[in-house]
Amino acid sequence: MAWTRNVLRVNLTSGSITHESLNMQWANDYLGQRGLATKYLSEEIDPKCDALSPENKMIMTTGPLTGTMASTAGRYSVVTKSPLTGAIACSNSGGYIGNEMKNAGWDMVIFEGKSPHPVYLYIENDKAELLSAEKLWGKSAWATDELLHSIHQDPLLRVAVVGRAAEKGCLFSAIVNDLHRAAGRSGVGTVMASKNLKAVAIRGTLGVGSISDPAKFFKATEDGKKILAENAVTGEGLPALGTQVLMNIINEVGALPTRNHQEVQFEGASEISGEAMLEIRKGDGKANLTTNGACFGCTIACQRISTVDKNHFSVKDKPEYHGNSGGLEFENAWSLGTDCGIDDLDAITFANFLCNEDAVDPISLGATIAAAMELFEEGVITVEDTGGMELRFGSAEALIWATEVTVKGEGFGLELGKGSKRLCEKYARPEISMTVKGQEFPAYDPRGIQGMGLAYATSNRGACHLRGYTVASEIMGIPEKTDPLVTDGKPALVKAFQDATAVVDSAGICVFTTFAWSLEDIAPQIDAACEGDWNAERCLEVGERIWNMERDFNLAAGLTGKDDTLPKRLLKDVAKSGPATGKANDLHKMLPEYYELRGWSPEGVPTDATRSRLGL
């Protein structure tokens, strides 16, 4: 079937590597990837454990559709307990390594314990070994990738790696694979580095195994690709402008968080938009955007490949950054640009290069720098703290400096690397941190998009747009248009998006397909690939089961319903411009109804009846 039915277990403490069979009962209950790996993690660790202790485990995992001919079927996830939030962490990535892992014959790799010295895991089909990473430790993710390809002399080797920031304990470190794709959020890279695991290098040539009904699967996937190609978002907007198609749109609707969420519109948005990336620069006669790219099996191709003007102050003395690299997406253009009040396209592109090079989450980084800028402008942080740098909104020089010291783990960068929650608590101004459960906000202000406020507050991994993207409905009208400024109907909308997204993440495909696909389009692909009857109703129940299981993990870890909230700034301070002028987020109107729809108590705890219904 679409599962390989194989699990690789790596005990880093002892150095032992063993093979075991996939628990197929769990696979039928949780599908794969996000859901299935979270089930394994929940069964195998104490949710109260220190996320950076050997007792925490880290699971690299694929879905049943990963590596197949389904569109976007190159996804893999990293599941662990987050050091940033203390909650469940599941960070999803594209690129090619997910396909390589599946083609090597593995549904998941479970890492446990801690190696006594730096190592990396090398997998070649059914052969797996831990090798010394002593010479790789202290190097950037890009340098490590290059060295591993040199060592193994295989251009098709796929590598996932942590950078220097993770080694230095940056709590929002990512795991970068294929140089420019990342399991980006919640500090999964920090957990990996805490285990003295520098990289995972995989070469797979076995194929993905058998599909339950090949003819049916071929038709279902071809039908799906046709829908994607004919859709205005997945067939036109994302290939042309990537997610940066949203910059001007979100700014116009008054939901673009600016200068650490003090404002909801940015006067410089058009200067760093997807359209701006296509404009020819005066400096070198080139555009920021070189071309687009695609992950394995993707027919959308939203990836950006960019260059920085080699005469720009940030790179003029750094020829190593004059070539093409991963370009801006909406989230990092927002966090490194708008949230910091910066409209220098080349500067924020270069800052994003640095995040890729050393495997750092640009959302948390930019939002943390923005919080530091507000603290600086209020006189709470001074040049004595920073070593002379003035951290002011709008300063591209300050952005580059802050990014460099954070990714290298130097000086004030060690403070920034703790995230905005801990930074603001240190300076006795916790209200300036724009986080939920300790994780920084993405690029949508919940005063201008009410449903996103509820989605942020209830997200199991902390503030996140990819756990319930109501923007699709509230702004883009997908699958139907709802008013972004009202709260009526939003609890049901958020629940529906959360449950459906859990299915997509667990299947091994990209959430961007849902701009065009519903579960009625996805279920036939799962059904043809996997044994059993996988209709849309069953898939949705699996999604609900996954969401409640994640909730139970967080409750066991010590989180409560009191953590389902937003910063006071978003609940009390009203928007000053745009369509949402005069509005704060009305979370208090939505949360009780959301709990009731979920089958949870007024305190946010799943009831016995809900657990029984879902088989938890």
CATH of residue 466's domain is 1.10.599.10
What pLDDT does residue 424 have?
98
pLDDT of residue 592: 98
State mean pLDDT over 168-176. 98
Boundary-marking domain end, from 188, 203, 218: 203
User: What CATH number has the domain bearing residue 333?
Assistant: 1.10.569.10
Number of structural domains (the chain) is 3
Same domain, yes or no: 403 and 510 = no
Could you list the residue range(s) of the whole structural domain that residue 576 is in? 449-614
CB atoms within 10 A of CB 12: 21
The DSSP call for residue 320 is: G
pLDDT at 209 over 80: no
Lowest-confidence pick of 23-37, 91-105, 278-292: 278-292
Q: Is residue 287 part of a domain?
A: yes
The counts of H helices and E strands in the chain are 26, 17
Q: Are residues 421 and 472 in the same domain?
A: no
416 and 469 share a domain?
no
What burial class does residue 537 get, using C-beta atoms within 10 Å of its C-beta: 0-12 exposed, 13-18 middle, 19+ buried?
Answer: exposed
What dihedral do alpha carbons 23, 511, 170, 106 form, nearest 10°? 30
Instruction: Say which CATH number the domain at 196 has.
Output: 3.60.9.10
Residue 93 confidence class, pLDDT cut points 50, 70, 90? very high
Verify that 67 and 158 share a domain, yes or no: yes
Q: How confident is the model at residue 220 (pLDDT cuts 50, 70, 90)?
A: very high
Q: Per-residue pLDDT averaged across 406-416, rounded?
A: 97
Please check the confidence at residue 366 and state whether its pLDDT lies above 80: yes
Q: What is the mean pLDDT of residues 70-74?
A: 97
Q: Is 474 in the same domain as 570?
A: yes
Q: How confident is the model at residue 208 (pLDDT cuts 50, 70, 90)?
A: confident
Q: Which residues lie below 8 Å from residue 431, measured CB to CB, with a gap of 6+?
A: 424, 567, 568, 569
Is residue 75, in this structure, part of any structural domain at all? Answer: yes
Do 292 and 167 belong to one domain? no
Q: At 283, is the pLDDT very low, low, confident or very high (cuts 50, 70, 90)?
A: confident
Mean pLDDT (whole number) for 36-49? 98
Is 189 part of a structural domain of the chain?
yes
Mean pLDDT of the 58-67 span: 97
Output the pLDDT for position 569: 98
Q: Is residue 250 part of a domain?
A: no
pLDDT at 1: 72
Are 346 and 380 within one domain? yes
Based on the domain organization, do 461 and 609 belong to the same domain?
Answer: yes
Domain end (from 203, 218, 234): 203
Q: Find the mean pLDDT for residues 428-455.
A: 98
State which H helix or E strand residue 349 sits in.
helix 345-357
The answer to whether residue 210 sits within a structural domain is no
Question: What mean pLDDT do residues 226-253 have?
Answer: 97
Last-in-domain residue among 134, 168, 203: 203
Q: What pLDDT was estimated at residue 210?
A: 82
- pLDDT class for 362, splitting at 50, 70, 90? very high
With the C-alpha atoms ordered 154, 156, 158, 162, is the resulting torsion angle positive or negative? positive
Half-sphere exposure of 376 (CA within 13 A, CB side): 27
Asked if residue 249 has pLDDT above 80, the reply is yes
Residues 6+ apart with CB under 8 A from 223: 521, 524
**253, part of any domain:** no
DSSP label at 394?
A: T
In a domain, 40, yes or no: yes
Are residues 403 and 360 located together in one domain of the fold?
yes
Mean pLDDT across the chain? 97
Residues 55 and 175 in one domain: yes
pLDDT value at 282 more than 90: no
pLDDT classification of 6: cutoffs 50, 70, 90: very high
Range of weakest confidence among 227-231, 301-305, 323-327, 579-583: 323-327
Band (pLDDT 50/70/90 cuts) for residue 291 is very high
Residue pLDDT, tens place only, 538-549: 999 999 999 999
Please give the pLDDT value at position 377.
Answer: 98
547 in a structural domain: yes
Whether 27 and 173 share a structural domain: yes
Beta strand 435-436 pairing with 119-124 = unpaired
Say whether pLDDT at 205 is over 80.
yes
Where residue 159 falls among pLDDT bands split at 50, 70, 90?
Answer: very high
pLDDT above 90 coverage of the chain, percent: 98
Omega before residue 479 within 30° of 0, cis: yes
- Do 606 and 557 sit in the same domain of this protein? yes
- Which residues lie closer than 8 Å to 150 by C-beta, 6 or more apart? none
Q: Rounded to an integer, what distance in angstroms lies between the CA atom of residue 564 and that of residue 460?
A: 9
Residue 92 bridge partners (DSSP): 77
